[in-house]
Structure 1
Amino acid sequence: MKILVLGGGIGGMAAAIKLKQTGHNVELVEKSNDWKALGTGLTLSVLTLRALCDLGVQDEIAEQGFVHDGVDIYDQDGNFIRTVLSKRVIADEFPSEGAILRPVLHDILSKKVLALEIPVFLGDSITSLNSTLEHGNFVQFDSGRKQHFDLVIGADGVFSKLRQLLMPEQPAPEYTGQACWRLQFDRPDDIIRGRMFQSENMKVGFNPCSPTQMYMYMMECVPKEHVWREPETLPEIAKQLLQEFEPVLKPYIDSINAATPIIYRPLERVMVNGDWHRGAALLIGDAVHATTPHLGSGAGLAVEDAIVLAQVLEQHADDLAQVFDVFMQKRLERARFVVETSGEIGRMEIEGESMMARSMLLAKGFEQVTMPYR
């Protein structure tokens, strides 16, 4: 089958890799001329790490990222509360969660794409698409190129252009009322798993993401009209937000300056509750189920989509309608659970519900996403 994958991020690369490995003729198109990832660390929840290991990059992640078994939880003054260990679901001898620097993961996956000799077209995007189950996809690109594909897969992110073309009735991404912060620091030797500090109003955590690095994460509730911040203001705002945790985090707070790698991202959400396909084209990943990071599972869901799609295509390759039907049965409810549960945790944080209630829902979410996906 001749397949076009739109989007060179985690989900798009995962789809290209799995479909090529299962014998399809695949090409990857990425709108950016500079094919790289921005950002600091990416949380590898049980769901996300398992999916990436199933994709075949377990050794690279273990070597270049940081895998561990859970999180040590403290209060805002640094008093130890408890350690929460995750169930090992990948292998008895391999931890089930961790983190990795986004540019490092991009490098791992892009090298795998190129090693499979998958053609990659940069600086291009889809202009128009005529897609039917009977005749496939007639695609025109911004570059002027015109081509036919049996299947088009849209993995082009939360602001998906293909979603706008295929599903103009779908609303734009919804701002959730929160912004996520990531600040990168050197990792002390004693931080060997996640470390979280909680108050009734806020949580701040560290996640080791390489042999030498870690990142700090925190959520901020921000009214929509104030969500944009100039990059040069971020260090001082971060310092102000962290004042509640000064008794235990003062060395980190004092070290934040203009040279500190900081990613500040307002959180948008997308959930397409109906079919993710039109004609012979299918959307996956953030294009149809962009979630907030409360369960650390957005990237993992996209990789799961890619793996399940490749499996279903192997089983029903001669019947795309059947492929889409089986794929939706396997993926819709799982994706919806993650998006809705993550969104509910965010709502509870915004409205100031108790730390106990939030922790209980978080535990329920983590238990559910540990369940097998295929």
Structure 2
Amino acid sequence: MTRAPRKVLVVGGGAAGNAVTILLRRAGVTVDLIEARPDWHAATGSGITLQGNALRVLRELGVWEQVEACGFAFGSLGMTAPDGTVLHVVEDIRTGGPDLPATVGMQRPRLQQILIEAVRACGPRIRLGTTVESLDQDADGVSARFSDGSRGRYDLVIAADGRNSATRAMIGIADRPEPTGMAIWRIAAPRPEGLERTDLTHGGPAYIAGYCPTSATTIYAYVVEGCRARASVPAESYADEMRALAEGYGGFWPEIVKHIDDPAKVNYTWFDRHLVEGPWHRGRVVLIGDAAHCCPPTLAQGAAMSLEDASVLAELLTTREDWDDRLLTDYHARRLPRVRMVVDASVQLGRWTLDGVRDADVPGLVGRTMNALKETP
């Protein structure tokens, strides 16, 4: 007897949800993808840093050529003094292997657009402006009721609805992101001539100042400071606040500062730590991406960990006959040590900065972590 095609509900149309949808559809799995935002294209954020292990998954998704064409590849990291003097340049570790760049910077909305186009091309049922109202499970599957009053029946539900995942709470997982004590100001800007890699400055008016090229003509720039109460920083002051910090830096910063003039284009975000230590599933509902874990961007590995989740889960779902508790437990067992390593290292780097630890082994921690990520997940 021929088995009916399996049917999966993916909740969330960000990087993790889009990636797992593409991989499952490629294997012939029926997928419904829902996204809470009515405008799926409205990805927030000024830019994203994609290291080799993220690029490896994007190549698996079949979108590497578009990413390469739209992004800005580079292979080194500069350390500079607050006045812009270059103190040291290190070669980045190629975590995706020798045939991929060490790092690609991209405009985050452009990456989202590339993934959306790939999702649409693979033929899932897509519903925007839609959320899950309830999930009822039994031994054979999950019945979902949606915000538009419709219902669906699924063999598996994949919760890819971000760090504030409503699905995570719905299935009784109480873990939530917790602030680490640091916050970041970000803005997209034109790329100054000669800026061809990420440079980081530790010290000066903020804890960290840096930038990343995101295309031939653009960058995103950021400054990191201690958390302030959000109510004390009105949105209309965002440009003034970021500019006041950024004006204390030299090098390319005076050119960047000229473009910090519109508060609507400045993003202010606290750093969070989040890792669900226990199982990432309840019955036939499983977490991936930021719904299961997130970390400060000190290692630029957040998107990579989400994309790897999608790749590993899709591999298990498309190579095993039984979609059972053992499969989802094995998924968790494969992902937890690697994700914990990244989360803990990312938080530790920030903690050393907050505590002013001058003899911290930052190069050693970064090197060990990045070398470990060269291994396929």
Whether the TM-score (by the shorter chain) exceeds 0.5 is yes
SS of 2:249's equivalent?
Answer: helix
Q: Does 1:111 align with 2:112?
A: no
* Deviates further, 195-204 or 113-122: 195-204
Matched, 1:316 2:317: no
Asked if 1:85 is matched to 2:91, the reply is yes
**Contact map agreement 1:316 1:322 (CA 8 A) in 2:** no
Which residue of 1 is the match for residue 143 of structure 2?
A: 138
User: Could you tell me which residue of structure 1 aligns to residue 234 of structure 2?
Assistant: 230
1:161 aligns with 2:166: yes
What is the distance in 2 between the residues matched to 1:195 and 1:160? 33
In the TM superposition, residue 196 of structure 1 has moved relative to its aligned partner by 2.2
Give the aligned partner of residue 3 of structure 2.
none
Deviation digits for residues 261-318 of structure 1, max 9, x if unmatched?
A: 3221122222100110011110100001111111111111111111111111122232
1:96 aligned partner: 102
Matched letter for residue 160 of structure 2: A
The answer (yes or no) to whether the contact 1:98–1:207 under 8 Å persists in 2 is no
**Is 1:191 matched up with 2:212?**
no
Indicate conservation of the 8 Å contact 1:185/1:214, yes or no. yes
State whether structure 2 residue 32 is matched by structure 1 residue 21.
no
Deviation, structure 1 residue 171 = 3.5
The residue that corresponds to 2:221 in the other structure is 216
Partners of 2:93 and 2:371 within 8 A in 1? no
Are the aligned partners of 2:53 and 2:96 in contact in 1 as well (CA < 8 Å)?
no
Q: Residues 176-212 of structure 1: CA distance to partner in whole angstroms, max 9, x if unpaired?
A: 2111221211113412222222337622112111121
Aligned partner of 1:280 in structure 2 is 284
Q: Which runs of 5 or more residues in structure 2 are unaligned? A: 1-5
Q: 2:261 aligns with which of 257, 261, 264?
A: 257
Task: Check conservation: 1:48, 1:296, Cα contact below 8 A.
Answer: no
Q: What's the offset of the Cα at 1:322?
A: 2.5
Contact 2:208 2:225 in 1 (8 A): no
Give the equivalent residue in structure 1 for 2:75: 69
2: CA distance between counterparts of 1:334 and 1:75?
Answer: 33
Q: CA deviation at 1:247?
A: 6.8
Contact kept, 8 Å, 2:175 with 2:275, in 1: the verdict is no
SS in 2 for 1:367: helix
CA distance in 1, matches of 2:250, 2:264: 18
Residue 295 of structure 2 corresponds to which residue in structure 1? 291
Greater alpha carbon shift after TM alignment, 22-31 vs 41-50:
41-50
Match of 1:345 in 2: 349
Letter paired with 1:296? A
Percentage identity across aligned positions?
A: 31
Match of 1:40 among 46, 50, 66: 46
Q: How does 1:229-248 map to 2 (within 5 A)?
A: 229-246=233-250
Using the alignment, how far apart are the partners of 1:355 and 1:166 within structure 2?
Answer: 44
State the alpha-carbon separation in 1 of the partners of residues 193 and 258 from structure 2.
Answer: 20
Q: Kindly provide the amino acid, as one letter, of the partner of residue 352 in structure 1.
A: G
- Judged with a 3 Å threshold, the aligned counterparts in structure 2 of structure 1 residues 211 and 254 are, in CA distance, closer, same or farther, namely closer
The alignment partner of 2:298 has SS state of helix
In structure 1, the residue matched to 2:56 is 50
Partner Cα distance (2:376, 2:198) in 1: 23
For 1:109, give the aligned amino acid: L
| Deviation (angstroms), 1:93 | 4.8
**What is the DSSP-based 3-state SS (H/G/I as helix, E as strand, rest coil) of the residue aligned with 2:279?**
coil
Moved runs in structure 1, 4+ residues, more than 6 A?
none
Shift in Å at residue 361 of structure 1? 2.6
DSSP-derived class of the 1:11 partner: helix
Q: CA deviation at 1:243?
A: 4.0
**Secondary structure of 2:350's match?**
helix
Q: Distance in 2 between matches of 1:322 and 1:245?
A: 53
**How far apart are 1:356 and its partner, in Å?**
4.7
Conserved in 2, the CA contact under 8 Å of 1:152 and 1:280?
yes
Question: Separation in 1 of the partners of 2:17 and 2:89?
Answer: 35
Counterparts of 2:143 and 2:165, CA distance in 1: 19
- Report the Cα distance in structure 1 between the residues aligned to 2:125 and 2:305, rounded to whole angstroms: 25
Matched, 1:147 2:159: no
- Match of 2:208? 203
CA distance in 2, matches of 1:346, 1:179: 10
Report which stretch shifted further, 266-275 or 250-259.
250-259
Query: Aligned partners of 2:98 and 2:340: how far apart in 1?
Result: 30
CA distance in 1, matches of 2:175, 2:98: 44
Deviation at 1:135, TM superposition (A): 1.7
Cα distance per residue 1:316-342 (max 9 Å; x no partner): 232422211221121111111111111
Aligned to 2:36: 31
Distance in 1 (CA, whole Å) between partners of 2:252 and 2:214 is 21
Matched, 1:2 2:7: yes
Taking the aligned partners of 1:28 and 1:72, their CA distance within structure 2 comes to 41
Distance 2:218 2:252 in 1: 19
Q: Say which SS state the counterpart of residue 158 (structure 1) adopts.
A: coil
Distance in 2 (alpha carbons) for counterparts of 1:372 and 1:181: 33
Contact 2:236 2:264 in 1 (8 A): no
Higher fraction of helix: 1
Secondary structure in 2 aligned to 1:135? Answer: coil
Residue type of the partner of 2:38?
N
Displacement of 1:147:
1.3
Contact preservation (8 Å) 2:78, 2:198: yes
CA distance in 2, matches of 1:91, 1:365: 15
Q: Distance in 2 between matches of 1:194 and 1:244?
A: 18
